[in-house]
Amino acid sequence: MQRTMSRRQTPPMLILIAALILLALPVGAFAAGVAGPRPLPQAALPQAGGPAGPSAPDAGTGPRLADVALYATPDGTGNSRKSFSASADNQINIRLRWLNLDAGVHDAYVTLTSPDGSVYQVLDVTFSTAPPTAKGPQSIQRPGVLHPIAVQAANTTPGGHVVWGQVPIAGTWMGRLPGAWQVSVRLDTNPRVLSTYPFTLNQ
């Protein structure tokens, strides 16, 4: 009688144990879901001070080219122009107005791009924003250059430092290349183009 009773009680015990195991599995999965995804490694997290962080440079600081203007006259009289004539204009006079420049000698590199997209000329406008120490034209000697380089004294105005560059038209190859031209300007060793200015050259 006792053996029969124990055989009948064994299956319910197994069913109870199996039910407890099955109940434990959803509880573990639910706990993992509440905990959320694993955090990213430290190297993958965005760091402070990146391109959009507080250490990003301010666009309003440092040297800045306020404007570029082209004239047919060397003294800048008359209105600035966006069109020139190879038969009527002798040269193009390029006025550059700078802001936030340190006192000293600078080089403005003015690149003229012809209508076919090739570089026609890179004009080096060497100028100084420091007060002149002597009367008359100033010059500097640079390593590897045999002749002294003339230094233009920047005209200091309330609107910034103004300097000029000249590009001849008459009697040059430029006069034979009518069409849409472009002037682009860089400063010193910075490769970034600070400004571009389109103009047209007619026959």
The pLDDT of residue 34 is 42
Q: Which of 129, 188, 198, 160 is nearest to 65 (CA)?
A: 160
Round to whole Å and give the CA distance between 114 and 120.
6
Pick the closest to residue 149 from 124, 186, 120, 168 (CA basis). Answer: 124
The rounded distance, in Å, linking the Cα atoms of 129 and 118 is: 32
Q: For the chain, list the strands marked E by DSSP.
A: 64-71, 83-85, 91-99, 105-113, 119-128, 138-140, 149-153, 155-157, 160-168, 179-187, 190-202
Mean pLDDT by 10 residues, the chain (203 residues): 47 61 50 42 34 37 92 92 96 97 95 98 95 74 88 93 96 96 97 96 95
Give the per-residue pLDDT at 31.
42
Strands (E), 4-137: 64-71, 83-85, 91-99, 105-113, 119-128
The number of CA neighbours under 13 Å toward the Cβ of 14 is 6
The pLDDT value recorded for residue 36 is 43
Is-contact 81 89, C-beta < 8 A?
no
CA distance 60 to 58: 5
Q: What is the pTM of this model?
A: 0.68
Q: Is 154 exposed, middle or buried (0-12, 13-18, 19+ CB in 10 A)?
A: buried
The per-residue pLDDT for 86 is 95
